[in-house]
A and B are shown apart, each in its own frame.
Chain A
């Protein structure tokens, strides 16, 4: 009876997880969806505590209390701008937890079945790579690791590590008593996780984080196979599917394949794209001031704001909202154009704007807003570069060729707030800055926007 009841509770929890995710399909129902997910987790935990195999509760109590304390502090203290870091490190925690559970199961089970050994090996490999990969991603996002570490033969080396892991996993399957095989594999997989992510640069982080998100789910699902536990399998595969879809969306938004992100390096050098800075910029850059932009606002009826990573770094989202409020008071229509890979994780810009109390209906996705730039009087680009580079449409050989971009250059006037003419992550010049209808407003995003606010108030 006990087991049946527990499994029934797991079924209810699985359904709640699914309904919870379904709630996330609209901002109106999203909070409720998340609550359902949390309830599902609570139910699964309570049901598990009824399991007869649990004999002592002291370690459980310690573990839960420590985990809850750390989790609550993390969740309450983290600033919205650091959300990519938080998600990265949490991905890693999920991964390592799966590995440890699989390892413990291997110790506890006598005469393990093939299902158990195969899935333990899978969980060990995926979970460990997730943990170390996420840790490296975390330190890259924190800018503790700034250099891209690349060396000749890197792909060959990674391939070798992968084969070694699979070989060690095979050893475990053939000789289930060989606990060493598992732990050696975990060590090799640790190195593999680090090596996979060290060569990847900041702007590719949305893909990496989405992919690791998927992996953390798959590791949990593999652990579900180890324990023959359906709620783990279901919840894990939902997360695996979610991460895979996000990875795919991010790759498409950069016109790159997943393999290219992980193994292709940072892309061609500036010289390879065939256009130099001087050719593009010489004599064509028009610099502007806050007062001049305020005058442009005077005659504008529709303004589109294009936020990029520069806005996040400068924490300028509140200033941007203030500016938009002022413009709306003057009956100017304001919308925000969000490129899928703007920032460091999927949806990064939306969260920052939501924090600054921008209505979600004003954040418009790329395909929809691109149709409106021709009727836009002024596009205000704040700290974005590659995602508005028209070379993506025109030049077929450059590193961003074919990448879908926001067509800001089609609006009547473009004002670009940027610190300098330095290239974006792709390392190529941006002809937008030199276009006839473009004005450069040099400065840090926050100060520049605050200057604009003052200028608009005075005009």
Chain B
């Protein structure tokens, strides 16, 4: 139970930080925000690595492998496309 409360504390505090930061992001960057935050949700990658690399059971490994592919596409593709978009936002006089 203590473990759960500790995890919940982290969760709730992180949500608050999220709200504080995101409300300050200007509408002009909302699309890069979506693709960038989307890439961040690819952090499931961490869990996928643990499953794909364990030799516990074949099924768990294959599930991990599938998760790994999806999460890597999400993270790598997401950060790259966000970079592509953001480098177009320039100030010109």
- B54 with A90: CB separation less than 8 A: no
Partner pick for B50 among A38, A98, A227, A354, CB 8 A cutoff: A227
At the interface, is chain B mostly helix, strand, loop or mixed? helix
Tell me which residues across on chain B come within 8 A of A156, comparing CB atoms.
Answer: none
- B84 with A108: CB separation less than 8 A: no
Cα(A59)–Cα(B63), bound, Å:
11
Give the contacts of B1-47 with A (CB-CB under 8 A).
Answer: 3-4, 7, 10-11, 14-19, 21-47
Partner pick for B80 among A72, A213, A239, A242, CB 8 A cutoff: A72
Minimum CB–CB distance from A336 to chain B (whole Å) comes to 10
Cα(A345)–Cα(B8), bound, Å:
31
Q: How many residues of chain A are within 8 Å of chain B by beta carbon? A: 114
Tell me which residues across on chain A come within 8 A of B88, comparing CB atoms.
Answer: 80, 351, 354-355, 357
What mask results when residues 23 to 34 of chain A are scored 1 for a CB within 8 Å of chain B, else 0? 011111011011
CB closest chain-A residue, reference B66: A100
Is A151's beta carbon under 8 Å from chain B? no
Task: Using known A-B contacts A66-B69, A105-B47, A242-B37, determine if residue A359 contacts B76 with beta carbons closer than 8 Å.
Answer: no
What mask results when residues 89 to 114 of chain A are scored 1 for a CB within 8 Å of chain B, else 0? 01101101110111111011000000
Minimum CB–CB distance from A211 to chain B (whole Å) comes to 11
Cα(A387)–Cα(B51), bound, Å:
48
- A93 with B33: CB separation less than 8 A: no
Task: Using known A-B contacts A220-B44, A241-B22, determine if residue A67 contacts B73 with beta carbons closer than 8 Å.
Answer: yes
- A63 with B52: CB separation less than 8 A: yes
Minimum CB–CB distance from A429 to chain B (whole Å) comes to 28
- B32 with A100: CB separation less than 8 A: no
At the interface, is chain A mostly helix, strand, loop or mixed? helix
What mask results when residues 184 to 223 of chain A are scored 1 for a CB within 8 Å of chain B, else 0? 0000000000000000000000000110010011011101
- A97 with B27: CB separation less than 8 A: no
Partner pick for B74 among A51, A94, A232, A355, CB 8 A cutoff: A94
A-B contact count (CB 8 A): 381
Tell me which residues across on chain B come within 8 A of A371, comparing CB atoms.
Answer: none
Give the contacts of A68-94 with B (CB-CB under 8 A).
Answer: 68, 70-72, 74-76, 78, 80, 83, 86-87, 90-91, 93-94
Is A18's beta carbon under 8 Å from chain B? yes
- B26 with A100: CB separation less than 8 A: no
CB closest chain-A residue, reference B18: A241
Residue among B43, B77, B88 with most chain A CB within 10 A: B43
- A41 with B51: CB separation less than 8 A: no
* Residue positions of B touching A, CB distance < 8 A: 3-4, 7, 10-11, 14-19, 21-57, 59-61, 63-93
10 contacts between A and B (CB under 8 A): A18-B21, A30-B29, A83-B81, A115-B4, A210-B34, A228-B3, A235-B40, A239-B40, A241-B18, A354-B90
Task: For the A-B complex with A235-B43, A246-B33 known, give 15 more contacts whose Cβ atoms are closer than 8 Å.
Answer: A25-B21, A34-B83, A41-B45, A55-B53, A60-B49, A70-B77, A71-B76, A74-B81, A76-B80, A93-B70, A96-B67, A104-B60, A243-B37, A347-B28, A347-B32
